[in-house]
Amino acid sequence: MRKIISLICFLLPVLAFVAESGAFAAESENRSDIRLDIRSDAPDRHVVVKGDTLWDISSKFFKDPWKWPHIWGLNKDTIKDPHWIYPGDVVFLDRNSGSLRIGQPITGDASPTKDTTTTSEPNAVSEADGVVRLSPRVRKNRSPHDAIPSIHAKDIAPFLSRPLVIEEGELSDAPTLIGAREGRVVLGTNDTGFAKGLPSDKGDQWKIYRPGKTFFDPDTNEMLGIEAIYLGSAEVIRFADVSTIAITSSTQEIFAGDRLAVPSLEEANTYLPRAPENNISARVISVYGGVSQAGQNTIITLSKGKRDGLESGHVLALYRKGEVVKHEGEKYNLPDERYGLVFVFRVFNKVSYALVMETKLPVQLLDRANTP
């Protein structure tokens, strides 16, 4: 027994050293991978200005701007926490660790301008009089609404407040527009209409929809949902069995039989760019606008959603199936080609909406979007 105890005591430091060495090696390997992703023209620092996005800032320093958790040193326990960055903050590149950090210049100038001047020391700002040291500083009265977003909000803003995908039968039970005065058939902005089934406990602001195309999984033929066509907005003037509404805006002609739904709103600022933790392989099942191809900054629909592990902020890589070629009488399948990245920003149970961030080819229906 004494020999066994002595052997254990002898081995414990060795095992601890091996474990520590393995952890250090893994960390070094990860850092090495990230250093390889640093752009050759990356500046040492960047002063954040209004109009910047998390994606834009990361892409100034790294070839893969979607590797947000690694770039900012976030782990799985902190990745979903807000990581607010504001205009005026200074983003520094630590080339030793291959990551970014935020500092605030302690100078008399309260309104820094955009500057990508490189210095030999990333913790310093070169000035004519010398070097001014920088250190983190808490700025009071800064709201998350003032923070820069992950991507440009203008590209996805119309899609954040409209529940574009509904489950089968969901609109059939929704409040319904039943008509207008004087037998009018078509309604538009500033017209008055009448609706049945409007509850008074959900507010007086409503969106108007019409059921559109039905989404199916191209691999399993499962019905994934119905895309609701957004028609406009309405305000309730008087609640009753037949309520009176005013059409406050319209994007298309509105008819009796169209449905009303409570508007919802999501904030683009909370979407941190990151890869999914699990392997996801989705298909492009629709390009918004009814076209067959998409380019950069276009909205596409994917055949995976919450039940598959997709979340807002996930970044997926686009792949085109390899062609079949003939050579000396034999057929060969060329490898699938990776050609772009998409940013998932609106997730439903079975489908998701994503913004095409980068692409070398036109995005086509049935192309795949996989975990990068």
Closest by Cα among 289, 282, 345 to 308: 282
- SS3 call for 106: coil
Q: What is the pLDDT of residue 80?
A: 55
70 phi, psi to nearest 5 deg: -70, -40
Q: Which pLDDT tens digit goes with each residue over 115-152? A: 443 333 344 444 445 554 555 554 455 666 677 888 88
Closest by Cα among 270, 370, 266, 265 to 310: 370
Burial bucket for residue 195 (CB in 10 Å: 0-12, 13-18, 19+): buried
Looking at 47-144, list the stretches that DSSP marks H as alpha helix, in order from N- to C-terminal side: 54-61, 68-71
Q: Check if the beta carbon of residue 231 is closer than 8 Å to that of residue 250.
A: yes
Question: What percent of the chain shows pLDDT beyond 90?
Answer: 37
Q: Is the pLDDT of residue 162 over 60?
A: yes
Local structure of residue 125 (DSSP, 8 states): E
Tokens in use for 261? 């739904």
Q: What is the pLDDT of residue 368?
A: 95
Closest by Cα among 82, 93, 236 to 148: 82
N-term to C-term CA, the chain: 53
Report residue 270's pLDDT band, with 50, 70 and 90 as the boundaries.
low
Question: What percent of the chain shows pLDDT beyond 70?
Answer: 73
Which residues, listed in sequence order, are joined to residue 194 by a DSSP beta bridge? 179, 244
Where do we find the tokens 């509904």? 166
Q: What is the pLDDT of residue 104?
A: 57
* Secondary element (H or E) of residue 336: none
Q: What is the pLDDT of residue 30?
A: 43
Q: What integer is the mean pLDDT of 200-206? A: 92
- SS3 call for 174: coil
Looking at 63-210, list the stretches that DSSP marks H as alpha helix, in order from N- to C-terminal side: 68-71, 153-160
Q: What is the pLDDT of residue 163?
A: 61
Distance CA 279, CA 337 (A): 18
Report residue 255's pLDDT band, with 50, 70 and 90 as the boundaries.
very high
Closest by Cα among 274, 280, 278 to 65: 274
Report residue 333's pLDDT band, with 50, 70 and 90 as the boundaries.
confident
Tokens in use for 26? 């893994």
Strands 259-261 and 205-216: antiparallel
Q: Which domains does the chain have, with CATH numbers?
A: 45-148 (no CATH), 162-261 (no CATH), 269-370 (2.40.10.410)
Distance CA 212, CA 302 (A): 16
Q: What is the pLDDT of residue 322?
A: 77
Q: What is the pLDDT of residue 77?
A: 59
Q: Is the pLDDT of residue 92 over 80?
A: yes
Q: Which residues contact 4 (CB under 8 A, 6 or more apart)?
A: none
105 phi, psi to nearest 5 deg: -65, 135
Where is average pLDDT lowest: 103-112, 115-124, 199-208, 287-296? 115-124
Looking at 129-241, list the stretches that DSSP marks H as alpha helix, in order from N- to C-terminal side: 153-160
Tokens in use for 352? 């998701």
Comparing 103 with 242, which gets the higher pLDDT? 242
Q: What integer is the mean pLDDT of 185-211? A: 93
Q: Is the pLDDT of residue 27 over 80?
A: no
Q: Check if the beta carbon of residue 102 is closer than 8 Å to that of residue 85.
A: yes
Q: What integer is the mean pLDDT of 322-342? A: 85
Q: Is the pLDDT of residue 113 over 70?
A: no
Where is average pLDDT lowest: 19-23, 71-75, 136-140, 335-339? 19-23
Closest by Cα among 108, 150, 121, 111 to 45: 121
Top mean-pLDDT range of 21-30, 153-162, 201-210 = 201-210
Top mean-pLDDT range of 3-7, 27-31, 215-219 = 215-219
Q: What is the pLDDT of residue 332?
A: 83
Strands 281-287 and 259-261: unpaired
Q: Is the pLDDT of residue 12 over 50?
A: no
- SS3 call for 110: coil
Q: Do you know the residue count of the chain?
A: 372
